[in-house]
Amino acid sequence: MNPCTNRLLLGLGLSLCLLASGCAAPAPVPTAAPTAAAPTRQPSPTVAPTNLPTSAPTAPIPAAAEWLLTSPAFAPEGVIPKDHSCLGADRSPALTWGAPPAGTLSLALVMDDPDAMPVAGFVWDHWVIFNLPPEAQGLPEGLGRDAQLPDGSQQGLNSFRQVGYDGPCPPAGQSHRYVFRLYALDTRLTLSDKTSKADLLQAAEGHILAQTELAGVFPAP
């Protein structure tokens, strides 16, 4: 008997069984429902806390853009005249500035030489003056070496261990950059005429409302 006849007889036998004896047809094997791919979780954007600083603290800046420190003797980053150096008359240069921000009770000024680090091992201080009245808007040329000045301001010690101003004096053949920094403070400072720049800045910590600066260069022959 050929395979086709066998397949036909098997089919007829199955049909007779179902009709005669009520044989139940085998239940269809359920097929698993297609499973959807698990959704990919996208990372939610990270939101920075608003109560954290977004950058490192920076030095105070002037409350008004016009609060600038200038000098009629030299332009910003310009050459400081010889008359204001140890090679000349060593006179302090005239300085001018505008009105400080509201709440200023005194002003303080320092002048130093950061380029002295390779030679001296530290920033060399050339001038320390504090308790300038808030209404002052400048200093005259050649201020002198008095510890106590007529307007109530005081001069401290520079790195030469002198009271008052000592001008640029770099080693022969070197050009150094000198920085004048003016601070607006919300207090008057109780300091002596032996006050150094470090003493001044420590006492001024937490009281600086604004600051401005002027820099000039002096090349030694």
User: 3-class SS at 88?
Assistant: coil
Average pLDDT over residues 165-176: 97
Distance CA(139)–CA(71), nearest Å, equals: 9
CA 99 to chain centre: 25
Sketch the domain layout of the chain as residue ranges: 82-186+205-219
Of 30, 186, 196, 47, the C-alpha closest to 106 is: 186
pLDDT score recorded for residue 193: 86
Residue ranges of the alpha helices (H) in 85-128? Answer: 117-120
pTM score of the predicted model: 0.71
The yes-or-no verdict on residue 135 having pLDDT over 50 is yes
The 10s digit of each residue's pLDDT in 9-60 is 334 343 333 333 343 444 444 444 444 333 333 333 333 333 333 333 344 4
The 10s digit of each residue's pLDDT in 180-200 is 999 999 999 999 989 999 999
What count of residues does the chain have? 221
| DSSP secondary structure letter of residue 157 | B
Q: Which CATH superfamily is domain 82-186+205-219 in?
A: PEBP-like (3.90.280.10)
The yes-or-no verdict on residue 121 having pLDDT over 80 is yes
Q: Which residues contact 210 (CB under 8 A, 6 or more apart)?
A: 60, 61, 62, 63, 67, 100, 101, 104, 183, 184
Which segment of 65-74, 88-97, 141-150, 157-166 scores lowest on mean pLDDT? 65-74
Which of residues 172 and 30 earns the better pLDDT score? 172
| Band (66; pLDDT cuts 50, 70, 90) | confident
Neighbours of 139 (CB within 10 A): 23
Distance CA(59)–CA(151), nearest Å, equals: 28
pLDDT score recorded for residue 65: 57
Q: Are 99 and 127 in contact (CB under 8 A)?
A: no
| DSSP secondary structure letter of residue 43 | P
Neighbours of 207 (CB within 10 A): 16
Neighbours of 123 (CB within 10 A): 16
The 10s digit of each residue's pLDDT in 139-150 is 999 999 999 999
Which of residues 35 and 152 earns the better pLDDT score? 152
pLDDT score recorded for residue 4: 39
